[in-house]
Amino acid sequence: MDVITVDALVDGVHFDRRRSPPEAIGHRALAVNLSDLAAMGAEPRSALLSMLLPGDLPLSDFDGIVQGFCALAAHHRVQLLGGNLTRTPGPLALDVTATGSVKRRDVLTRAGAAAGDEVYVTGTVGAAAAGLETVASRQSSVVSQAVDRYLRPEPRVRMGVVLARNRAATACVDLSDGLADGAHRIAEASGVGMVIDGTTLPVDAAASAWWQASGGDALMRSLVSDDYELLFTARPRLRGRLAAARGQGGTPVTRIGYCTREPAVVLRTARGDIPMPAGYAHFGAAAPERLDRSGAVR
Amino acid sequence: MDVITVDALVDGVHFDRRRSPPEAIGHRALAVNLSDLAAMGAEPRSALLSMLLPGDLPLSDFDGIVQGFCALAAHHRVQLLGGNLTRTPGPLALDVTATGSVKRRDVLTRAGAAAGDEVYVTGTVGAAAAGLETVASRQSSVVSQAVDRYLRPEPRVRMGVVLARNRAATACVDLSDGLADGAHRIAEASGVGMVIDGTTLPVDAAASAWWQASGGDALMRSLVSDDYELLFTARPRLRGRLAAARGQGGTPVTRIGYCTREPAVVLRTARGDIPMPAGYAHFGAAAPERLDRSGAVR
């Protein structure tokens, strides 16, 4: 089946035009959507790029944005079908629609987790938040690796597809709104609770170093870091499938918790259990759920 | 085959939030895309609504926009699959992606016109421009019909589909950037010239009355009026097909010119022939052609 998703990046909300290279802005705009497709287990196919262009945007910046977009598209064999350009009296914005395909029976949703399932995260978390902080503080030379992960996130396209094909995951989201938000979304959609062991969270090394130096709380910051990783649940008795997916997915995977019958989402810290923070929502109560994310075409 | 299109409306560029009812904004955002699909001969299927929301947008306005969108979607049996909401420090913007389907051999493009083909337009032109002027001048009671056509354009969905199915048209565009722009686009893509007889242009009656009263040039204003009509070309010897399409399409159609071997696009006026005005482009030279409109999925 075909799946389709749309996501927008706005200057001053999701990135800072004065501090991001144009290529990184274009890269990021597509990466957001590829990450969304990965969370559905879909192979990306095509994209549309719709841009709101302020009058003062230099043509070279426009070119850089399109180049960054197209480079990531080429890497994942995503066809740029077209798009739209319009001027705006407001900030630069990129709205990207992406399509993908996945067998109907393989589609990953947020709703399949059951009590007893284990919770996993791909890669590491925290680099995006640390990268954002260092870019904002202009100390970018300190942790250029975290900055680069923030500016040019690599969506887990392959891992999403193999998790779906191997039927290794029962539910999946990406972390584009942070791990705390992702945990809440799976828990709510699946009607389960969750215990996330914060002490096992795979915090990015450069991010850790940054927070050690700057006095930031690595755990709390990592929970709201918009890393382009996947958070998923898996049945303990199907670990064989997960092992196969790990082998093919090319991404490290860490077990960080489990699902519970009790509906609460709990964060286990060195100082004891606390409620999982709410995460951040770009828009909260005003957003009807069905408008908040992607859907499936036929 | 599936086709897909995306178009954005920005407050202050494509509409004025202070002067448009919220329902009309939502209606218009979908209508732009349905008109695009109609120009390809495609039956609309589904849509995604991506909104950039300024902090001062009242929740009731948000609801009204979504209602206007959904009412038009229901009328044309378009399924709202999902979307995205984000805040913006800039103006309200709606970016809509719509999908449709059309048999591959039936797809209408801009590139099929040949010298000798006749040029037609559906419905009437000018109402949108007059409506915009009257809304802007706050004299909306004078020509409420034109205002309504401006605020709630009815895309020619059925006519586009029957033109395609009957193979009645050789090239087609919609007038969302005006008739002058549409004529130039077909001429350029098809490698032909065009003579448009301005004296035969079906100018909307209420718009005519408005310009008579306000001193506006009805012909020149109508050429840059973003009416949601279709401009298409047809072979004279296939008039039987066109007659069939007219019967099924439920929309009046007027012949307004013909295609020429000479590449110029000419406007015939009561005072003689002049070059067709350039029309307006939301973005001009900076826009790579492939980013300027929709494309086709597979």
* Residue B160, number of CB atoms within 10 A of its CB: 33
pLDDT band at A293 (very low <50, low <70, confident <90, very high): very low
- Check if B2 contacts A (Cβ < 8 Å): yes
Pick from B15, B59, B78, B97 the residue to mutate for testing the A interface (most A CBs within 10 Å).
Answer: B97
Region B275-297 average pLDDT: 50
The alpha carbon of residue B4 is apart from the nearest alpha carbon of chain A, in Å, by 9
**Secondary structure of chain B in HEC code, one letter for each residue:** CEEEEEEEEEECCCECCCCCCHHHHHHHHHHHHHHHHHHCCCEEEEEEEEEEEECCCCHHHHHHHHHHHHHHHHHCCCEEEEEEEEEECCCCEEEEEEEEECCHHHCCCCCCCCCCCEEEEECCECHHHHHHHHHHHCCCCCCHHHHHHHHCCCCCHHHHHHHHHCCCCCEEEECCCCHHHHHHHHHHHHCCEEEEEHHHCCECHHHHHHHHHHCCCHHHHHHCCCCCCEEEEECHHHHHHHHHHHHHHCCCEEEEEEEECCCCEEEEECCEEEECCCCCCCCCCCCCHHHCCCEEEC
The alpha carbon of residue B53 is apart from the nearest alpha carbon of chain A, in Å, by 9
Pairing of strands B272-275, A295-297: unpaired
pLDDT at B293: 41
CA angle A265–A31–A103, rounded 5-degree value: 75
- Check if A48 contacts B (Cβ < 8 Å): yes
Whether B50 has a pLDDT exceeding 70, the answer reads: yes
pLDDT at A9: 95
Phi, psi of B16 (to 5 degrees): -125, 110
User: Position of tokens 């006749």?
Assistant: B118
The alpha carbon of residue A94 is apart from the nearest alpha carbon of chain B, in Å, by 10
Q: Which of A13, A293, A297 sits opposite B88 (nearest CB)?
A: A13
pLDDT at B250: 83
Average pLDDT, chain B: 89
Chain A residues close to B293, C-beta within 8 Å: 82, 84
- Check if B273 contacts A (Cβ < 8 Å): no
**Secondary structure of chain A in HEC code, one letter for each residue:** CEEEEEEEEEECCCECCCCCCHHHHHHHHHHHHHHHHHHCCCEEEEEEEEEEEECCCCHHHHHHHHHHHHHHHHHCCCEEEEEEEEEECCCCEEEEEEEEECCHHHCCCCCCCCCCCEEEEECCECHHHHHHHHHHHCCCCCCHHHHHHHHCCCCCHHHHHHHHHCCCCCEEEECCCCHHHHHHHHHHHHCCEEEEEHHHCCECHHHHHHHHHHCCCHHHHHHCCCCCCEEEEECHHHHHHHHHHHHHHCCCEEEEEEEECCCCEEEEECCEEEECCCCCCCCCCCCCHHHCCCEEEC
More confident residue, A30 or B132: A30
| Side chain identity, residue B217 | D
| Angstrom distance (rounded) from CA B209 to CA B146 | 10
Average pLDDT, chain A: 89
Alpha carbons within 13 A on the beta-carbon side of B128:
24
Taking CB atoms and an 8 Å cut-off, how many pairs form between chains A and B?
A: 183
Q: Which of A2, A95, A283 sits opposite B95 (nearest CB)?
A: A95
**ipTM for the complex?**
0.81
> Of B229, B253, B131, nearest to B175 (Cα)?
B229
The alpha carbon of residue A261 is apart from the nearest alpha carbon of chain B, in Å, by 30
- Check if B280 contacts A (Cβ < 8 Å): no
pLDDT band at B248 (very low <50, low <70, confident <90, very high): confident
Region A206-210 average pLDDT: 89
Region B186-209 average pLDDT: 95
What percent of chain A shows pLDDT beyond 70?
88
Query: In this structure, are residues B9 and B28 in contact, taking their beta carbons and an 8 Å threshold?
Result: yes
Region A6-34 average pLDDT: 92
Whether A250 has a pLDDT exceeding 90, the answer reads: no
- Check if A64 contacts B (Cβ < 8 Å): no
pLDDT at B181: 95
Whether A125 has a pLDDT exceeding 50, the answer reads: yes
pLDDT band at B226 (very low <50, low <70, confident <90, very high): confident
- Check if A87 contacts B (Cβ < 8 Å): yes
B160-172 pLDDT tens trace: 999 999 999 999 9
Whether A199 has a pLDDT exceeding 60, the answer reads: yes
B97/A97 CB distance under 8 A: yes
pLDDT band at B20 (very low <50, low <70, confident <90, very high): confident
Region A18-42 average pLDDT: 94
Least confident segment among A278-287, B212-221, B274-283: A278-287
Query: In this structure, are residues A99 and A43 in contact, taking their beta carbons and an 8 Å threshold?
Result: no
Region B17-26 average pLDDT: 91
pLDDT band at B151 (very low <50, low <70, confident <90, very high): confident
- Check if B297 contacts A (Cβ < 8 Å): yes
Whether B277 has a pLDDT exceeding 70, the answer reads: yes
The two most distant CA atoms of chain B are separated, in Å, by 57
User: Position of tokens 């990021």?
Assistant: A28
pLDDT at A292: 40
What percent of chain B shows pLDDT beyond 70?
88
pLDDT at B157: 96
> Of A160, A155, A276, nearest to A223 (Cα)?
A276
Cα separation of the two ends of chain B? 7
User: Position of tokens 């994209």?
Assistant: A47
| Angstrom distance (rounded) from CA A44 to CA B265 | 42
| Side chain identity, residue A105 | R
B14/A290 CB distance under 8 A: no
Whether B288 has a pLDDT exceeding 50, the answer reads: no
> Of B135, B49, B131, B48, nearest to B93 (Cα)?
B49
The alpha carbon of residue B52 is apart from the nearest alpha carbon of chain A, in Å, by 8
The alpha carbon of residue A176 is apart from the nearest alpha carbon of chain B, in Å, by 13
- Check if A18 contacts B (Cβ < 8 Å): no
Please count the residues of chain A: 298
pLDDT band at B175 (very low <50, low <70, confident <90, very high): very high
pLDDT band at B146 (very low <50, low <70, confident <90, very high): low
What is the separation of C-alpha B224 from the centre of its chain, rounded to a whole number of angstroms?
A: 11
pLDDT band at B62 (very low <50, low <70, confident <90, very high): very high
Region A234-240 average pLDDT: 93
Q: Which of A8, A14, A59 sits opposite B50 (nearest CB)?
A: A8
Whether A104 has a pLDDT exceeding 70, the answer reads: yes
Global confidence as pTM: 0.84
pLDDT at A147: 66
- Check if A283 contacts B (Cβ < 8 Å): yes
Whether A285 has a pLDDT exceeding 70, the answer reads: no
Chain A residues close to B288, C-beta within 8 Å: 66
Whether A27 has a pLDDT exceeding 90, the answer reads: yes
Chain A residues close to B287, C-beta within 8 Å: 85
What percent of chain A shows pLDDT beyond 90?
71
Q: Distances from the Cα of A223 to the Cαs of A151, A181, A182, A186, A192, in angstroms?
A: 18, 8, 9, 15, 19
More confident residue, A37 or B239: A37
- Check if B208 contacts A (Cβ < 8 Å): no
- Check if A84 contacts B (Cβ < 8 Å): yes
pLDDT band at A177 (very low <50, low <70, confident <90, very high): confident
Please count the residues of chain B: 298
- Check if B252 contacts A (Cβ < 8 Å): no
Region B193-206 average pLDDT: 95
pLDDT at A284: 34
Judge residue A133's burial from the number of C-beta atoms within 10 Å of its C-beta, 0-12 exposed, 13-18 middle, 19 or more buried.
Answer: buried
Region B227-245 average pLDDT: 93
Pick from A4, A13, A17, A97 the residue to mutate for testing the B interface (most B CBs within 10 Å).
Answer: A97
pLDDT at B41: 97
Least confident segment among A145-154, B87-96, B133-142, B240-249: B133-142
A52/B293 CB distance under 8 A: no
Region B9-22 average pLDDT: 90
Least confident segment among A144-148, A247-251, B38-42, B233-237: A144-148
Q: Which of A66, A87, A287 sits opposite B282 (nearest CB)?
A: A87
Query: In this structure, are residues A48 and B2 in contact, taking their beta carbons and an 8 Å threshold?
Result: no
A43-81 pLDDT tens trace: 999 999 999 999 999 999 999 999 999 999 999 999 999
Whether B297 has a pLDDT exceeding 60, the answer reads: no
Sign of CA dihedral A209, A230, A20, A27: positive
Chain A residues close to B16, C-beta within 8 Å: none
Pairing of strands B171-174, B230-234: antiparallel
A50/B7 CB distance under 8 A: yes
- Check if B60 contacts A (Cβ < 8 Å): no
Query: In this structure, are residues B35 and B293 in contact, taking their beta carbons and an 8 Å threshold?
Result: no
Whether B152 has a pLDDT exceeding 90, the answer reads: no
Query: In this structure, are residues A298 and A5 in contact, taking their beta carbons and an 8 Å threshold?
Result: no
More confident residue, B171 or A290: B171
